[in-house]
Amino acid sequence: MKGTNRRLVIVLLAAVAARAAAVLVLQSHLVPRSTYEHGEIAASLVEGRGFSMRFLGAEGPTSQQAPAYPFLVAAAYSIGGVEQPRALLILELGQAMLGGLMVLGVFRLASYIACDRTAIAWWSAWIAALHPTLVYAATHVQVALLAATLVVWTLVWAHRSAASGSVRSAVATGLLLAMAALADPILGLVGLGVCAALWISRAGDADVRRTWALGSIVFAVAALAITPWVIRNALVHGEFVPIKSTFGYAFWQGNCTISEGTDKVVREAVDTVMDESREAGSLASFNQTVWKARHTAGYIDDVAFTPEFKRQLGRLSEPERSRVLLKMAIQDIQDDPSRYLQLCARRLRYFWLFDETNPRSRVLVYRVSHLALTGLALMGLLIGGPTVRRRSIPLLATVAALSGFHAMTIVSARFHIPIEPLMAVWAGSGVVAVIDLLGSLKPTRSVAPARHVEQVGIVGRLG
C-alpha cells in the first residue's frame, strides 16, 4: 500500500507540475481580454454590485453564467486585484492544483472500471496528467477544467454509492451532481451516468427498492442543493430560471442563418494572424498570437446584432431576451430544416475532431494529441474486454448525452474537455491492450530443463 501511495503521489505531482509549468511558460495571465463573462461577473461581485454584468443590451443582475466559476474568479480577484495579472496567475496556479484532484479522480474511476487490471488505472492517470488539452485548460479563465473535475468525481461517487449501497455516498453523489450543474447546467446530464452506475452495479440485487432509494436520494439532494440559486433567479428575474437564462441565446448562436454551428465567426483575418504564429520566438509569444487570432475571430453577435437591435433587447427582461433569440433560431430552422441537420452533423464532427472556427484547434499539438486520445480510447473500448465495456456504461451514457446535446445546439472546443478524463480511462485500457498484444507477438523459446525433455521422449526420438 505504501508503494502504491508513493506512486500515486508522483503521478499527482507530475500533473500539478505540468500545469504549473504551462501557466508560467505560456504567460496567459498577461493576455488582455482573456476573462470574458466570468471576469466581468467576478469584478462586479468584488466591487459590490452583485452577480451582474452587461448582457444583450442591458446591465444588471444576471443569470448569463452559472455561479460556481465566477465566484472562484472573484476569490482570486479579491486577493490579487480585479483583472490584475497577479490575480489571474493565482487563479491559474489554483487550477493547476485542481488538475491534480481531477487526475486522482481518473485513477479512482479507472480502478472501478477495471478492478482486476491495476495497470489500466495507472496508465489512465498518467494520460490524464499529461494530455496537452487538459494541461492547457489550466491556463485559461474557463469553467472547463472545473467541469471536468466535477464530472469525474460525480461518477466516482456514483460507482461508490452503487457498490456500497450507502446513503452517505448517495448524498455525496447528489452534492457533486449539484456542483457540476452549478458550474454548467449541461453537466446535469451526468445524471444519466449516475443512473447507469446504479443500474449496472446493483442489477443483480434482489432489493430493487434499495436501488431506487439510492437514486432518489442522489437526485433529491442535487435538487435541494441548487434550489437556493433557483430561488435567487426567481427573485431577480421574476420567473423560474433553471440556473442559467441563456439556452435560447446559445441556441441562436449555433443555429441562426449565418452560423457555422459555433459561437464564432469565420474570418480570413484569422488565417493571417495564425500565419504569424510560425514566426513566434517563444511559447509565450506563440500563445499570445493564438489569443490574438481568437480575438480576431470574435463572436457571431458582433456581426449579427445592430446597435438598435441590442437596444431593443435591452428593454426586455433577461429571460425574455433569450426567448426572443430562441424564436428567431426556430424560425430559421423551419425555413430551412435541411440546414439544421447539416449543422448538427457539422457540430458532431467539430466535437469529435476539430472545431474549424476555433484558432486553437488548428495548432498541431492539439490535433495530434486529440486524435491520439480518441484513437486509444476507441481501442480500449473495442479490445479492452467485456468487463471494461460493461463497467464503462456510465461513462458512455455521460459522453453520449453531452456530445448529443452539443451536436443539436452549439459546440466549441472547450465543450470537449469535460469528457476527456473519461476518455483517458478508456485510453488507459487501450494502452494496456496494445502492450498485451505486443507481448503476445514476441517469439518465445523453451527454457525447460534437459531432463524434462528426455521425460517426454523427444531426446530419445532424436537419437
Is 288 a domain residue?
A: no
Is 233 a domain residue?
A: yes
Cα–Cα dist 186/147, whole Å = 10
DSSP summary character for residue 33: T
Is 154 a domain residue?
A: yes
Is 462 a domain residue?
A: no
Is 391 a domain residue?
A: yes
Give exposure, 376-403, as e/b (b: 16+ Cβ within 10 Å). Answer: bbebbbebbbeebbebbbbbbbbbebbb
Question: Which stretches does DSSP call E strand in 56-199?
Answer: 58-61
Structurally, how many domains does the chain consist of?
A: 1
Q: Which residue has the cell 427498492?
A: 209
pTM of the predicted model as reported, rounded to 2 decimal places: 0.91
Helix, strand, or coil (residue 74):
helix
pLDDT for the residue numbered 325: 96
The amino acid that residue 203 corresponds to is A
Is 460 a domain residue?
A: no
Nearest Cα neighbor of 263 from 250, 272, 274, 275 is 250
Angle (nearest 5°) at CA 144 between 247 and 351: 70
Cα–Cα dist 162/109, whole Å = 13
Helix, strand, or coil (residue 53):
strand
pLDDT for the residue numbered 281: 75
Is 15 a domain residue?
A: yes
pLDDT for the residue numbered 449: 53
DSSP assignment of 363-415: SHHHHHHHHHHHHHHHHHHHHS-HHHHHHTHHHHHHHHHHHHHHHHS---GGG
**What would you report as the CA-atom Rg of the chain, rounded to the nearest whole angstrom?**
25
Q: Which three cell numbers stand for residue 280?
A: 513566434
Decide: 367 and 361 in contact? Cβ < 8 Å: yes
pLDDT for the residue numbered 427: 97
What is the 3-state composition of the chain as percent helix, strand, coil, each rounded to the nearest 5?
75, 0, 20
Domain boundaries, position 345:
2-264+299-441
Is 277 a domain residue?
A: no
Tell me the pLDDT of the chain (463 aa) as tens digits: 577 789 999 999 999 999 999 999 999 999 988 999 999 999 999 999 999 999 988 999 999 999 999 999 999 999 999 999 999 999 999 999 999 999 999 999 999 998 778 999 999 999 999 999 999 999 999 999 999 999 999 999 999 999 888 999 999 999 999 999 999 999 999 999 999 999 887 555 556 788 889 999 999 999 999 999 999 999 999 999 999 999 999 999 999 999 999 988 877 777 787 777 667 778 888 888 888 888 887 788 888 888 899 999 999 999 999 999 999 999 999 999 999 999 999 999 999 998 888 888 888 999 999 999 999 999 999 988 888 999 999 999 999 999 999 999 999 999 999 999 999 999 999 999 888 888 877 665 555 554 454 444 444 444 4
pLDDT for the residue numbered 207: 66
pLDDT for the residue numbered 459: 45
